[in-house]
Amino acid sequence: MHDFESDRQRLFSRRTLLLGGLQASVFAGLIARMYYLQITEGTRFATLAEENRISTQLVAPPRGIIFDRFGERLAANEQNFRLLLVPEQVGSVEEMLTRLNAFVTLTEADLRRFRRDLRRKRPFHPLLLADNLTWAQAAALEVRLPELPGVSIDVGLIRHYPEAIATAHVLGYVGAVSEADLKADADPLLSLPAVQIGKTGIEKLLEKELRGRAGAVDQEVNAHGRVIRRVDERAGTPGQNVTLTLDRALQNYVQQRLMTERSGAAVVMDVHTGALYALASHPSFDANAFSRGIGQETYSELLNDETAPLNNKALAGLYAPGSTFKMVVALAALEAGIIDAGHPVTCYGAMQLGNHKFHCWKRGGHGTLDMIGAIRESCDVYFYDLASKVGIDGIAAMARRLGLGTATGLDLPGEKAGLVPDRLWKEANRGENWQAGETLIVSIGQGYMLATPLQLAVMTARLVNGGVGVVPHLVKQIEQGRREQTEWPTLGLSERHLATVRRAMSSVCNDKRGTAFGSRITDKGQEMGGKTGTSQVRRISMAERSTGVISNENRPWRNRDHALFVGFAPVGDPRYAVAVIVEHGGGGSKVAAPIARDILLEAQRLNSAATRRAPLPAAEFIPPNPANRPQTSAAGAGEEPSD
């Protein structure tokens, strides 16, 4: 019995000791864990708890403002009144929507977006119901807010373009952030619902500079995410302001002047610095409609319009340059030393090459002309003769030297390169040898030759500025970044040869025999020089030529020739170069030259090249009256199509 009691006592003692050890181990583990949580990892867990308690909301900064060269606003931010609704404070959401519809017309798109957010977000979150409210709508709602529980008016910023039509193709527009934008740009600012991003033009090119950096607001929230109080606020960095080389007044005038025609483009450029004072494409579109959210019907109309209003014709429209290209051929011949300015050619109305006859626009011919006379009267046969002497490769080399055939490098998206053909190009792209007749066609700016109005303006600037290789640009200064480049290298062309070309271009406008004499500038000291051009868009058959070429007025619009003009002013001290294209407008002397004349007059009146100017309102635009124009002489009655 004693042994049994003794064994049981020893067994109990061992179990007690084991249990005590286990309890001590567990207690020690708890102490160690508490030490780890509170001492070793205390700071980290306190931070995590704080992060769960504090919600950080990004705040969009104001977008940078875009100015013209004289400090006039081209793109700014204006108040955007938005209608917000907190579902849990409303009671019946559908009933409130009905009441609000008496003050604001809620579109189907507004309602679809609202109901989508209603399903996705918590009931205490304010939801956007409508934006872009007018001041009258916002005011009417504001005074009735006590009767509209859960409804509020929020004031944000939206992009506004004061000259929305005139500057649409240059500035572009902003729009809602897409999934593609989010993938391409990791900036968390883009996740905010009200943020817009540059989609085209300068807005897209300088998106990061204009966007700025987000601010932040720290808010204390409960476990459900409901805001309890605002804890801290950190200001963002506004977007940088940008100054362009454009002259707002001139840009607006050029756009309005083009609106007298159905479709076209014009460029005004400083021949010495490369600054663009106007870059206009017509028809245009309302950039404000895009920033506010354009409707599908309106957008479809723009896409389906045969005049392509969304296309920037000034830098993306490709056209055969027609007779505006003849100065390139003349300069190529002079620089090659093949002929001099006095080289005579007799024009009988056509030139025979093998089995083919190449016609001049003037059916009876021009008679004998030298180089200045040939440019003045735009004699095709003269340039057939020069082209046969210089060859296509020599012509192509000079064209590229003057800025044709490659993108100019303009600081604006969407520029096209154009095309300057030569032997290698045809072999590589057509798999065929170059033909001698094709050289004659190129010499009058037809055939494979293609150029943009911007390239033609650059060509003109380089011809009249002493042979300096100016490059066009639009950005004058970024607030905290680069400034414009205004000095350019020389092209190494003979000043004597360039003077011959300038003199010939002056005679086009200021000699009674010139093709643009009827559109000359008569104001003393502001005279212009230039060159007319008419670009065919269809081939004229021999049968039609024998019976008489159908006039542009009697053809469908799409089959009419393009009208072109390149020019500069003033003749005595060139400063402004201009290029004008009127799509399917007919003859260059009849249609494009008067537009160029008016634009050059306005540029000189506004003194667009000045570094600063006192407030000077643009003259009220009055459509030109043909009765007030100088009359064209019989010898220069207009340029007809070239073959």
Q: Exposed e or buried b for every residue in 208-240, given b needs 16+ CB within 10 A?
A: ebbbbebbeeebeeeeeeeeeeeeeeeebebbb
| The residue to which tokens 């905290």 are assigned | 480
- The answer to whether the CB of 213 falls within 8 A of the CB of 189 is yes
Distances (CA, A) of 585 to 483, 535, 595: 39, 10, 12
| Dihedral sign computed on CA atoms, order 256, 258, 263, 266 | negative
Q: In this structure, what token pair is assigned to residue 462?
A: 């380089």
Residue 306, SS3?
coil
Q: In this structure, what token pair is assigned to residue 491?
A: 């092209």
Radius of gyration from C-alpha coordinates of the chain: 36
The closest alpha carbon to 327, from 366, 359, 365, 371, belongs to 371
Give dist(CA 312, CA 301) in Å, integer.
17
State in Å, rounded, how far the first CA of the chain is from the last one. Answer: 136
- The answer to whether the CB of 202 falls within 8 A of the CB of 170 is yes
On the question of a cis peptide bond just before residue 283, with omega within 30 degrees of 0, the verdict is yes
Give dist(CA 463, CA 453) in Å, integer.
15
From the number of C-beta atoms within 10 Å of its C-beta (0-12, 13-18, 19+), residue 634 rates as exposed
| The residue to which tokens 């033609």 are assigned | 456
Which of 323, 378, 535, 589 does the annotation list as catalytic? 323
Side-chain half-sphere exposure of 157, counting CA atoms within 13 A: 17
Q: In this structure, what token pair is assigned to residue 411?
A: 């600081």
Give dist(CA 124, CA 227) in Å, integer.
9
Q: Is 323 annotated in the active site? A: yes
The helix-helix angle for 326-336 and 380-390 (nearest 10°) equals 40
Q: Which residues are known to be catalytic?
A: 323
